[in-house]
């Protein structure tokens, strides 16, 4: 399945289409599975911490699935920026927006879009454990295997992701495509365009 994703005006039209990797119904079904697994672990005073920005859509759907699974999670957000491009080996992480609630003695579920190097999730997990959380587990929509720079495994994984740059369902490239209700890969082809 392909989805048109806009085009540029001019002599040469750059057509960008999105090849769908994980469609809406697949994602929805997986969210229900993850929510049931979280509920089965009987979390204590559950706090869901969504890692902005990429996880916002996954988190919104997963939180509603958690409700359907009988849980009453509270919800927080954290926004971090990693310097992956500038300092590949140092893996520094800066907190742009911090959690506001007290996490002491609570079971925390970190929710993120993709687990790749693991730096962001490992940093957030260490931070919340240092603040006294009882447990910090993580749910990621996608996992890219073989890309880990630090030792961390997600407790709940939506799908294993091929080693491709993916967009949609909250994830972007240059601020675009977050609105797509599915996960896909951008495909670019140049086409000659005749004036109409």
Residues that bind ligand IMP (CB under 6 A): 54, 82, 112-121, 165-166, 171
Residue closer to Mg ion by CB (options 54, 118) is: 54
What part of residues 29-58 is at the interface with Mg ion (CB under 5 A)?
54
CB of 166 vs Mg ion, minimal distance in Å: 12
CB atoms within 10 A of CB 158: 24
Four-CA torsion 179, 182, 188, 190, nearest 10 degrees: -80
Residue closer to ligand IMP by CB (options 31, 117) is: 117
**170 binding Mg ion? (CB under 5 A):** no
E strand residue ranges, the chain: 2-7, 12-22, 47-52, 74-82, 93-97, 107-115, 135-143, 156-160, 166-167, 183-192
CB of 72 vs ligand IMP, minimal distance in Å: 27
Q: For the window 53-72, what string marks contact with Mg ion as x by the rule CB under 5 A?
A: -x------------------
Per partner kind, with CB cut-offs from 5 to 8 A, the member of Mg ion, ligand IMP, none near residue 30 is: none
Binding site for Mg ion (CB under 5 A): 54
């Amino acid at each position: 399945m392909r989805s048109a994703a806009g085009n540029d005006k001019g002599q040469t039209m750059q057509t960008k289409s999105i090849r769908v990797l994980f469609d809406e119904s697949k994602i929805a079904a997986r969210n229900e599975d993850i929510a049931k697994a979280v509920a089965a672990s009987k979390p204590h005073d559950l706090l869901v911490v969504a890692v902005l920005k990429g996880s916002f859509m996954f988190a919104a759907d997963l939180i509603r699935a958690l409700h359907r699974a009988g849980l009453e999670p509270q919800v927080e957000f954290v926004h971090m920026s990693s310097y992956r491009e500038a300092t590949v080996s140092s893996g520094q992480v800066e907190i742009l927006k911090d959690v506001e609630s007290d996490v002491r003695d609570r079971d925390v579920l970190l929710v993120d879009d993709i687990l790749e190097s693991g730096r962001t999730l490992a940093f957030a997990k260490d931070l919340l454990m240092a603040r006294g959380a009882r447990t910090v587990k993580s749910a990621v929509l996608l996992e890219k295997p073989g890309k880990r720079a630090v030792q961390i495994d997600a407790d709940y994984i939506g799908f294993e992701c091929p080693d491709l740059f993916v967009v949609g369902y909250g994830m972007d490239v240059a601020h675009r495509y977050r609105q797509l209700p599915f996960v896909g890969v951008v495909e670019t082809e140049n086409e000659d365009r005749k004036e109409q």
